[in-house]
Amino acid sequence: MKLDPSVYVLIDPDQTFGHEPVALARAAAQSGATLIQLRDKRGAIRPAIELARAMTAALAPLGVPLLVNDRVDVAMAAGADGVHLGQDDMDPATARRLLGPRAIIGQTVKTAAHVAALPPGAVDYAAVGGVFATLSKNNPEPPLGLAGLALRIAALKARKAGLPVVAIAGIDAGNAGDVIRAGADGVAVISAVAKAADPAAAVAAIRQAVDKAVEEARGAR
């Protein structure tokens, strides 16, 4: 499936705040999410495969790809559309070899060395974390903030022109436009959707904020 990382919704089965994970994925995809990630940190592979299969089945008719966090084996077993890899997961070149040319592969990049190490053609997008303070993850470093994010993205794009960059951590409808204006091609969100009483409305609001910032950026060019 084609990659559009503009509104990227991560779903963690341990952090759905009462929402059923597959229903959450479906609601997000129907409300403007362009990419869904299953971020399953429970550790057991059989339930992870089962959930990834159910999400893939729910999302395929909607044309929204499902990526699996960390685990290439779970993605392959479930027939998901790709993976998102951290720096400690399988290296992207090996993952590309196993998943094939049509899979979507993203990687978290934290340092200039990570950017330099991105293997040509293996990665379809890069993710920059720690933008704002977040409840979903323990980040030891202070948040980048918007100026820090802008510099990080500019440095990344200077090295890898054309590589889409998504930003993550503490993003919601209120700051998503700022993140796009800082140079991100997409916003990745977890709590802003999962914690919402109406996740579909939360995704729609983020979608609207992103679209508005993208249009402004087009108008300014």
Q: Considering only residues 91, 114, 150, 195, which one is a binding residue for a second copy as defined by CB under 8 A?
A: 91
Q: Is 31 labelled as part of a ligand binding site?
A: no
Shortest Å distance, C-beta 77 to a second copy: 5
Residues facing residue 106 across a β-bridge = 84, 125
Cβ nearer to a second copy, comparing 92 with 129: 92
Residue count of the chain: 221
Cβ nearer to a second copy, comparing 4 with 50: 50
Asked if residue 46 binds a second copy (CB under 8 A), the reply is yes
Cβ nearer to a second copy, comparing 44 with 158: 44
Q: Considering only residues 44, 113, 158, 161, which one is a binding residue for a second copy as defined by CB under 8 A?
A: 44
The stretch among 6-14, 65-73, 128-136, 195-203 that binds a second copy (CB under 8 A) is: 65-73
What dihedral do alpha carbons 100, 101, 103, 108 form, nearest 10°?
100
Which residues, 6+ apart, have CB-to-CB distance to 131 below 8 Å?
Answer: 143, 144, 145, 146, 149, 167, 168, 169, 170, 171, 179
Asked if residue 111 binds a second copy (CB under 8 A), the reply is no
Structure tokens of 3? 């990659």
Separation of alpha carbons 218 and 221, rounded Å = 5
What dihedral do alpha carbons 184, 165, 85, 81 form, nearest 10°?
100
Residues annotated within the binding site are: 37-41, 69-70, 89, 108, 134-137, 170, 190-191
Residue ranges that bind a second copy, judged by CB under 8 A: 44-46, 49, 71-73, 76-77, 88-91, 94, 98
